[in-house]
């Protein structure tokens, strides 16, 4: 009982000292860890915030360095994809507007020029009529362009409805054949039609007539006299293929992937006699896809073109 407790007191003092040291160290380490983790998490978030702010101001050229495969990296990749898509859309819109203004400027130049000549008093009546016909043709061209653009704009806004009805495909195509055959005969071309059996498809007849008219108009426009255009219908499992083939000029391989794009034309000179507006096939594609079908083109330059539409039967 009367023994000296100095050594125990010293040990207690030492232990206390150790506890305090360990305590301070662990608090310090926790603070460092928290600070480090929050920086690791917040830095990418801050970068993403800055990027989205730039995006909202219209700067779509911003790029984000994304590392890892966690949720934050996924979010970063999603924002990056959004920026790329927006940049692509901006570029496309710019090009589209440039093409539209070019498309409208050309006929307007003709109209203005010929109207100026036609109003002169010192020209022959016959000559005046010729100029007026050109003005009329150019106005028609512009009317078609504006109508097609309006239709495509409606398709983009999804304010375009298709009313599908059960249709006998062969009967539908036969009616179309009878309607268009005279135009082919007038150009000394023949239109063939092969459709066997009882094939039923669900289509919006008015819209689908527009599809076929566009394809046959191309076949007629881009073929020479004496050639043949055919409409073939084939069944494959539960699918129906409608093939429009011609023996016309064909489409070069490098142009083939682009012909369904808006305002795309192989003939870049946009000649008045041959060229259309380049919107026909874009409208065709939209309508076919709205029916749940697909369309593609196959062509050999100088030999002819095949446009193949695939629809589901029934």
Q: What angle do CA 95, 97, 99 make, to 5 degrees?
A: 70
Give whichever of 66 and 297 is closer to ligand ATP, judged by the CB atom: 297
Compute how many residues bind ligand ATP; rule: CB under 6 A: 24
Q: Which two tokens stand for residue 228?
A: 């043949």
Is-contact 171 200, C-beta < 8 A? no
Q: Could you identify the residue written with the tokens 């026909």?
A: 280
Question: Measured from the CB of residue 181, what is the shortest distance to ligand ATP in angstroms?
Answer: 18
DSSP per-residue string spanning 116-143? HHHT-TTS-HHHHHHHHHHHHHHHHHHH
Question: Measured from the CB of residue 313, what is the shortest distance to Mg ion in angstroms?
Answer: 27
Question: Measured from the CB of residue 278, what is the shortest distance to ligand ATP in angstroms?
Answer: 4
Question: Measured from the CB of residue 281, what is the shortest distance to Mg ion in angstroms?
Answer: 6
Residue spans of alpha helices (H) in the chain = 6-56, 71-118, 125-156, 169-186, 205-221, 280-290
Q: Is 259 in the site for ligand ATP (CB under 6 A)?
A: yes
Q: Is 218 in the site for Mg ion (CB under 5 A)?
A: yes
Q: Is 248 in the site for Mg ion (CB under 5 A)?
A: no
Q: What is the CA radius of gyration of the chain?
A: 35
Give whichever of 127 and 140 is closer to ligand ATP, judged by the CB atom: 140
Contact track, Mg ion, 109-148, x by CB under 5 A: ----------------------------------------
275 binds, among Mg ion, ligand ATP, none (CB under 5 to 8 A by kind): ligand ATP
Give me the count of residues in the chain: 314
Question: Measured from the CB of residue 52, what is the shortest distance to ligand ATP in angstroms?
Answer: 38
Question: Measured from the CB of residue 112, what is the shortest distance to ligand ATP in angstroms?
Answer: 23
Return the residues of window 267-296 that contact Mg ion according to CB under 5 A: 276, 280
Q: Residues 6 or more apart from 284 whose CB is under 8 A from it? A: 210, 211, 214, 215, 260, 295
Return the residues of window 267-306 that contact ligand ATP according to CB under 6 A: 267, 275-282, 305
Q: Which two tokens stand for residue 168?
A: 């006998």
Return the residues of window 214-233 that contact ligand ATP according to CB under 6 A: 214, 218-219, 222
Phi, psi of 195 (to 5 degrees): -150, 120
Return the residues of window 132-151 that contact ligand ATP according to CB under 6 A: 148
Q: How far apart, in Å, are the Cα atoms of 269 and each of 169, 218, 272? A: 38, 17, 9
Strand, helix or coil for residue 294 = strand
Give whichever of 195 and 216 is closer to ligand ATP, judged by the CB atom: 216
Footprint of ligand ATP (CB under 6 A): 148, 214, 218-219, 222, 246, 248-251, 259, 264-267, 275-282, 305
Footprint of Mg ion (CB under 5 A): 218, 276, 280
């Amino acid at each position: 009982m009367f023994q000296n407790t100095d050594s125990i007191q010293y040990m207690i003092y030492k232990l206390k000292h150790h506890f305090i040291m360990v305590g301070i160290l662990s608090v310090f380490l926790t603070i460092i860890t928290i600070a480090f983790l929050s920086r690791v998490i917040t830095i990418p978030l801050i970068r993403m915030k800055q990027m989205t702010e730039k995006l909202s101001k219209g700067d779509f050229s911003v790029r984000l360095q994304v590392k890892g495969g966690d949720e934050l990296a996924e979010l970063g990749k999603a924002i990056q994809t959004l920026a790329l898509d927006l940049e692509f859309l901006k570029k496309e819109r710019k090009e589209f507007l440039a093409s539209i203004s070019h498309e409208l400027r050309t006929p307007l130049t003709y109209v203005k020029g010929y109207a100026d000549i036609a109003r002169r008093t010192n020209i022959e009546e016959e000559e005046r009529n010729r100029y007026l016909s050109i003005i009329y043709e150019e106005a028609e061209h512009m009317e078609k362009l504006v109508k097609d653009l309006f239709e495509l704009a409606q398709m983009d806004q999804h304010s375009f409805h298709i009313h599908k009805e059960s249709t006998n495909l062969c009967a539908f195509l036969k009616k179309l054949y009878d309607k268009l055959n005279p135009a082919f005969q007038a150009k000394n071309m023949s239109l063939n039609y092969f459709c066997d059996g009882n094939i039923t498809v669900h289509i919006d007849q008015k819209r689908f007539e527009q599809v076929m008219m566009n394809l046959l108009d191309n076949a007629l426009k881009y073929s020479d006299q004496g050639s043949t255009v055919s409409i073939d219908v084939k069944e494959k499992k539960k699918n129906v293929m409608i093939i429009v083939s011609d023996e016309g000029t064909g489409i070069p391989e490098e142009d083939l992937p682009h012909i369904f794009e808006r305002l795309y034309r192989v003939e870049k000179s946009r000649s008045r006699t041959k060229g259309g507006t380049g919107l026909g096939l874009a409208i065709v594609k939209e309508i076919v896809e709205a029916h749940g079908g697909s369309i593609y083109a196959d062509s050999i330059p100088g030999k002819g073109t095949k446009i193949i539409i695939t629809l589901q039967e029934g």
